[in-house]
Amino acid sequence: MESQEILEKIKETFPCPEQDIRAYSPLTLAFIGDGVYSLVVRTMVVCRANRANNALHHDAVKYEKAESQAKILEIIKPLLTQEEADVLRRGRNAKPHTTAKNASLGDYHKATGLEALYGYLYLSGRTDRMLELMKAGIEGLENK
């Protein structure tokens, strides 16, 4: 299966004009990255065990909260290319109009940077690389 198959199918189903990915704001990249990361985490949690929704949600939140995403960022940082590090930095330095109610400002900014990176990789059709980084981060988090 081609790694960008779902992105291409979405674009075919809901036609949208081609845009230069570098023109997207870091917060737009974080918006889509948050959704993609959540889908991957939820898929992982469901594949590990068929349980009640409440238990699945509890497990997913462990990976999705800003504190965990900030830790994942630190784990994968040495693995990033210069291009990826630049996208992450743009996302981390963005000025969101909201803040997380249960996270420090530093963790929230790091989580936004991580989500921007995932969004950038997803929209660039580099889902294999995105999943590689997610796996390294999640495994690193679980081994701490």
Q: For residue 17, give the amino acid letter.
A: P
Which candidate in 20, 34, 59, 107 is catalytic? 34
Residue 135 token pair: 């796996």
- Respond yes or no: is residue 34 known to be catalytic: yes
Query: What positions carry a catalytic annotation?
Result: 34
